[in-house]
Amino acid sequence: MDTLYLKYRPKKFEEILWQDHVKLLISNAVKSGKISHSYLFSGPRGTGKTSVARILAKSVNCEHPVDGYEPCNTCDSCVEIDTGRTLDVIEMDAASNRGIDEIRSIRDRVSYMPSKLKYKVYIIDEVHMLTREAFNALLKTLEEPPEKTIFILATTEIQKVPETIISRCQVLEFRRIPPNLISSKLEEVCKAENIEYEIKALDHISKEASGGMRDALSMFEEIARFSNEKVTLESTLFVLGNSPIETVESYITSILDGNVDALIHVVDSIRNQGTDVMNFLRSVVEYSSDKIKENGLISIGKFAVDLIQILRYEEKQFDLFKIMSAFEALKYKNLENVAQPLTSKTQQAEKVEKVEKEAKTDLERLIEFYVQKDLSVCVSLSKSDLRDLGDRILVISYTPLQNEILKEKDKMITDDFKNITSRSVRFAFAYSKVSIDSMNEKLREPIIKVLSLFGGKILPEGGE
């Protein structure tokens, strides 16, 4: 098997999937002879930028283009470009040639007319990687565009390309390719390569590729190499390192059954398999969303989404994952003990959602408490990121004003929390880097003013 994504590189516009707006604009320009001097192709990797750039180079140089724009792929010009034998189509990867020298050499060479073809075409990939000097040199070239020369710049990160460059180019945005189109393409490849497949496997790969055809083809190739006879969902999950569906299912079932022992068993097996927690949780989310009609899975899905948020920056991901999952299972277990017999998991899930809705969390009660006692703390807490981790409460504050208020009153908050919830926990405050000491006078002054207004109690004890 050749490298599939090279073997299946589109050779004409017709074979480019999804990017219809790009194809339309370019084909019209070629037909009417109104080619732009410089294009900027922006978009995620593997969506067709380089492919379109090469097709465009053939299109303007083709000796007898089909319908006036589609490269024939048989004339001398087309063949020379396809085989990379021409000096008039120059591809440069800015990721490896960041230097000004290369761009200078373009500037020097640019003054010569194309040696053989009608148009000279420069394709500069990952253009955002150029150094500032190189950008300036490029800008000069774009400002005095030489005749019969087309620049095609491509980038996955247009926000890093200077505005001055962007404004000189016609910008074309390449979009992520939808999973169903990727699946059909993979199916086509399977047929052409005589590979047996399960459609479920192709669908899974398409979702994992997040809109990039190259990634989809490389993933598929790796899986096909690994699979003996047939590309199955199982081999796909195995190669991509995702959790087998059975593990996801037993995780969900043990939570819904309130079976903490079984749950711990599943979690340990996930750890032993070396599965990444975040990937596992993403599989749980995906599984739940596929079955969104089954009510029970909505709350599990939501639980997994929340857990992903919480675990994102945690070092002890696995321990937290284990505890939180066991805790979730416990919630369902307790429901089993209520007098009224429960008939289905769906009802159990509804019950949990109801309980969750009615019972305020300890943090919500704390914030509510401060509505009366100290509005500045109330506001600062509610604008911070709060996480109840069981034995400690994490408070992440983002602005200098909140920083100052919370710093001043952290001990009071810890004490009040204990009084309200009878839980004795450690508060961990994480402050944003900006402190008011490091701010200039102009910015500091209003903050200090606000602090003096809201620094203390603003309601006298017992109200007015």
Residues at the site binding ligand ADP, with contacts judged by CB under 6 A:
5-6, 8-10, 16-19, 45-51, 154, 177, 213-214, 217
Bridge partner residues of 41 (DSSP): 154, 172
Beta strands 230-231 and 120-125, pairing class: unpaired
Sign of the dihedral defined by the CA atoms of residues 64, 65, 67, 72, in that order: positive
Smallest separation, CB 82 to Zn ion (Å): 9
- What are φ and ψ of residue 429, in 5° steps? -95, 130
Query: Considering the rule CB under 5 A, would residue 55 count as an interface residue with Zn ion?
Result: no
Stretch that binds Mg ion, among 49-57, 138-146, 217-225, 319-327 (CB under 5 A): 49-57
Transcribe 432-445 into DSSP letters: -S--GGGS-HHHHH
Q: What kind and span of H or E run contains 397?
A: strand 392-397
Residue whose beta carbon is closest to Mg ion: 50
Bridge partner residues of 121 (DSSP): 89, 150
Smallest separation, CB 215 to ligand ADP (Å): 8
Smallest separation, CB 95 to Mg ion (Å): 10
Pick between residue 50 and residue 97 the one whose CB is nearest to Mg ion: 50
Q: Which does 48 bind (CB under 5 to 8 A by kind): Zn ion, Mg ion, ligand ADP, none?
A: ligand ADP
Pick between residue 209 and residue 377 the one whose CB is nearest to ligand ADP: 209
Smallest separation, CB 238 to Zn ion (Å): 45
| From 52, 78, 100, 134, residue interacting with Zn ion (rule: CB under 5 A) | 78
Q: CA angle at residue 209 from 206 to 214, to 5 degrees?
A: 105
Pick between residue 222 and residue 388 the one whose CB is nearest to ligand ADP: 222
Bridge partner residues of 124 (DSSP): 92, 153
Query: Considering the rule CB under 5 A, would residue 447 count as an interface residue with Zn ion?
Result: no
Smallest separation, CB 299 to Zn ion (Å): 60
Smallest separation, CB 242 to ligand ADP (Å): 22
Pick between residue 62 and residue 223 the one whose CB is nearest to Zn ion: 62
CA distance 200 to 223: 14
Query: Considering the rule CB under 5 A, would residue 57 count as an interface residue with Zn ion?
Result: no
Residues with Cβ < 8 Å from 406, sequence gap 6 or more?
Answer: 377, 380, 381, 384, 395, 397, 413, 429, 431
- How many residues in the shown chain lie near Mg ion by CB under 5 A? 2
Query: Considering the rule CB under 5 A, would residue 50 count as an interface residue with Mg ion?
Result: yes
- How many residues in the shown chain lie near Zn ion by CB under 5 A? 5
Stretch that binds Zn ion, among 16-24, 41-49, 75-83, 391-399 (CB under 5 A): 75-83
Task: Cite the beta strand spans of 74-161 per DSSP E.
Answer: 89-93, 120-125, 149-155
Smallest separation, CB 117 to Zn ion (Å): 11
Smallest separation, CB 352 to ligand ADP (Å): 44
Beta strands 170-173 and 89-93, pairing class: unpaired
Query: Considering the rule CB under 5 A, would residue 75 count as an interface residue with Zn ion?
Result: yes
Query: Considering the rule CB under 5 A, would residue 62 count as an interface residue with Zn ion?
Result: yes
CA distance 337 to 116: 85
Smallest separation, CB 46 to ligand ADP (Å): 5
Pick between residue 50 and residue 149 the one whose CB is nearest to ligand ADP: 50
Stretch that binds Zn ion, among 20-28, 60-68, 167-175, 196-204 (CB under 5 A): 60-68
CB 212 within 8 A of CB 245: no
Pick between residue 125 and residue 221 the one whose CB is nearest to Mg ion: 125
Stretch that binds Mg ion, among 44-52, 85-93, 289-297, 438-446 (CB under 5 A): 44-52
Site for Mg ion in 15-34 (CB under 5 A): none
Pick between residue 50 and residue 397 the one whose CB is nearest to Mg ion: 50
CA 11 to chain centre: 29
If DSSP codes are grouped into helix, strand and coil, which group holds residue 123?
strand
Q: CA angle at residue 321 from 320 to 322, to 5 degrees?
A: 90
Closest CA to 428 of 386, 378, 370: 386
Pick between residue 71 and residue 114 the one whose CB is nearest to Zn ion: 71
Bridge partner residues of 70 (DSSP): 66
Q: What is the dihedral of CA 192, 198, 199, 205, to 10 degrees?
A: -90
Smallest separation, CB 216 to ligand ADP (Å): 8
Beta strands 89-93 and 120-125, pairing class: parallel
Can you give the binding site for Mg ion, defined by CB under 5 A? 49-50
Can you give the binding site for Zn ion, defined by CB under 5 A? 62, 71-72, 75, 78
